């Protein structure tokens, strides 16, 4: 069933991607090593689409770039992710293109601002907040409308922001943290502003970051995965739980329903058990229980 979920996710035209460390018991020495959980999110609802959202998690024993290359072997389209170098080799081959994350760019300034506010960090945060204000107004609207609004209102703001950053950079010490934050944005400018030209895209990678919260909650209930195989099983469970939540389902009720049916369910109809296909029956059950 997780394979069917992965197939649904990978047929999207845009994906959100991220990863997080997970402690895994190393065989033979009683200590833990650091594995990775990768998340890939399909969610087209902010652009007014009705395609069911879903998330697929994958486990790997390390963070080498070969893992996302394998995960995304059949994906074509926009990949929104952070600046992790392991994603960079995927771009420029005509199959995938990069969409960067304004939340990451903003975070660079916010971290400096929280410790030592300055006119430059204040100005940067205010200008980025203006971009987010536009997004708040058009979230859930059709892609064509989103693109029109971004072109007319956000485009002038990002053009002005770029010029302001370039000027501020010339006035700052090259070794300052604020200069580094500005260079981070300017070096990724095309990827950061690509969302303006395509109403299907998002301003940031928050869908992937939200998907990883379930892993952080899981760490409160267990200290580590028992093995690499345990990490793979955790990825499968997180995929089902995360996708159930994205579709407005109670994860516990969804898993209980699926586990009660899967043993007798035809293999060639496994997609019937995906969250959005089970949702109507669970809603009927909930209404009866009420």
Question: Do 70 and 50 contact (CB within 8 A), yes or no?
Answer: no
Q: How far apart are CA 133 and CA 154, in angstroms?
A: 10
Neighbours of 270 (CB within 10 A): 15
> Quick one: 93 and 113 in the same domain?
no
Residue 265: half-sphere exposure toward Cβ, Cα within 13 Å? 17
> Quick one: 94 and 211 in the same domain?
yes
111 part of a folded domain: yes
> Quick one: 130 and 92 in the same domain?
no
129 part of a folded domain: yes
pLDDT digits (tens, 9 = 90+) for 272-285: 999 999 888 776 54
Question: Do 182 and 172 contact (CB within 8 A), yes or no?
Answer: yes
Element (H, E) at 208: helix 206-211
Q: How far apart are CA 234 and CA 275, in angstroms?
A: 18
CATH code, domain carrying 251? 3.30.420
Mean pLDDT of 3-14: 96
199 part of a folded domain: no
Question: Do 200 and 138 contact (CB within 8 A), yes or no?
Answer: no
Torsions phi, psi for 245 (to 5 deg) = -65, -40
Question: What integer best gives the mean pLDDT of the chain?
Answer: 91
197 part of a folded domain: no
How many domains is the chain partitioned into structurally? 2
pLDDT digits (tens, 9 = 90+) for 196-244: 999 999 999 999 999 998 887 666 556 567 788 888 999 999 999 999 9
> Quick one: 62 and 14 in the same domain?
yes
Q: Residue 61 is part of which domain span? A: 2-98+206-289
> Quick one: 80 and 141 in the same domain?
no
Q: How far apart are CA 243 and CA 75, in angstroms?
A: 19
> Quick one: 86 and 7 in the same domain?
yes
> Quick one: 136 and 66 in the same domain?
no
Neighbours of 59 (CB within 10 A): 22
Q: How far apart are CA 245 and CA 275, in angstroms?
A: 9
Say whether pLDDT at 111 is over 50: yes
Alpha carbon 211 to its chain centroid, in Å, reads 7
Please tell me whether the overall predicted TM-score, pTM, comes out greater than 0.85 for this model.
yes
Say whether pLDDT at 85 is over 90: no
Helix (H/G/I), strand (E/B), else coil: 99: strand
Say whether pLDDT at 173 is over 80: yes
């Amino acid at each position: 069933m997780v394979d069917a979920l992965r197939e649904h996710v990978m047929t999207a035209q845009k994906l959100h991607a991220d990863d997080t460390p997970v402690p895994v018991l190393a065989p033979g020495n009683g200590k833990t090593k650091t594995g990775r959980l990768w998340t890939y999110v399909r969610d087209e609802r902010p652009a007014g689409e009705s395609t069911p959202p879903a998330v697929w998690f994958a486990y790997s024993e390390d963070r080498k770039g070969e893992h996302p290359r394998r995960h995304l072997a059949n994906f074509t389209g926009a990949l929104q992710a952070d600046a992790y170098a392991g994603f960079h080799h995927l771009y420029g081959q005509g199959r995938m293109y990069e969409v960067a994350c304004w939340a990451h760019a903003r975070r660079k300034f916010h971290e400096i601002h929280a410790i030592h506010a300055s006119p430059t960090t204040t100005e940067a945060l205010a200008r980025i907040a203006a971009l987010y204000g536009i997004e708040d107004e058009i979230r859930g609207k059709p892609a064509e409308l989103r693109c029109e609004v971004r072109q007319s209102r956000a485009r002038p703001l990002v053009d002005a922001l770029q010029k302001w950053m370039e000027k501020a950079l010339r006035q700052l010490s090259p070794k300052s943290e604020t200069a580094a934050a500005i260079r981070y944005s300017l070096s990724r400018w095309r990827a950061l502003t690509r969302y303006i030209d395509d109403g299907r895209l998002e301003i940031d990678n928050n869908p992937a970051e939200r998907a990883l919260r379930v892993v952080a909650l899981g760490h409160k209930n267990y200290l580590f995965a028992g093995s690499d195989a345990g990490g793979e099983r955790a990825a499968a469970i997180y995929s089902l739980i995360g996708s159930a939540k994205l579709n407005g389902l109670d994860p516990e009720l969804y898993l209980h329903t699926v586990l009660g049916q899967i043993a007798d369910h035809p293999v060639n109809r496994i997609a019937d058990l995906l969250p959005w296909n089970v949702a109507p029956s669970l809603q009927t059950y909930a209404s009866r229980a009420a």
